[in-house]
């Protein structure tokens, strides 16, 4: 087996994504059960800001009965070796390019822990990126999409969560 020279940062990123996916899978099996966890997911598509990019991938959100929100994303078709932002948004993708960021407290600051950010994340040489976060608090019903932002802030991709 060929050793690919994985860096410590890459190993940590892989581990975070792997553990995030494992948590999503674990909680997905409990959706609708007595645990009270709610799982939503969606598929990424490009916004006008991502025109010309073959963006795809998936987003998952788990609202746990214990009062946490877990968000895991995997996006491909992005520029290689580039850092992107990603945030849970308060409107569907088709509504004003998903409007603004979801906030636990609408009057609170525009950053975690008041917002849910599964990024920033950096893509690999193939243009694949993974983001993951666990927020303290259960996202409200208006946390309905995840948006990927290009460097500089333009909204380039979105996934509606249903």
3 state DSSP class of 27: helix
2 is a domain residue: no
| Domain CATH for 83 | 2.60.40.200
Residue 3 lies in a domain: no
Q: Let me know if residue 50 belongs to a domain.
A: yes
| Contact yes or no for 30/141 (Cβ under 8 A) | no
In a domain, 65, yes or no: yes
Dump pLDDT digits (tens) for 60-106. Answer: 999 999 999 999 999 999 999 999 999 999 999 999 999 999 999 99
**How many angstroms separate the first and last alpha carbons of the chain?**
41
Q: Specify the pTM.
A: 0.80
pLDDT digit string (tens) for 13-59? 444 444 454 444 444 444 444 467 999 999 999 998 888 899 999 99
Structural domain span for residue 113: 8-160
Q: Is residue 16 part of a domain?
A: yes
Tokens of 132: 């993951």
Q: Is residue 1 part of a domain?
A: no
Instruction: Work out the average pLDDT over 112-129.
Output: 97
Domains of the chain: total: 1
């Amino acid at each position: 087996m060929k050793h690919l020279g994985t860096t410590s940062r890459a190993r940590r990123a892989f581990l975070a994504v792997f553990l995030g996916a494992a948590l999503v899978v674990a909680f997905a099996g409990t959706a609708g059960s007595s645990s009270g966890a709610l799982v939503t997911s969606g598929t990424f598509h490009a916004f006008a800001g991502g025109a010309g990019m073959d963006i795809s991938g998936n987003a998952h959100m788990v609202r746990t009965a214990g009062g946490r929100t877990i968000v895991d994303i995997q996006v491909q078709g992005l520029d290689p070796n580039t850092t992107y932002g990603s945030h849970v948004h308060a409107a569907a993708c088709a509504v004003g390019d998903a409007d603004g960021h979801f906030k636990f407290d609408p009057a609170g600051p525009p950053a975690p822990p008041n917002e849910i950010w599964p990024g920033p994340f950096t893509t690999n040489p193939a243009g694949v990126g993974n983001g993951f976060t666990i927020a303290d608090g259960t996202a409200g019903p208006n946390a309905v999409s995840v948006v990927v932002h290009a460097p500089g802030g333009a909204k380039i991709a979105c996934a509606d969560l249903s």
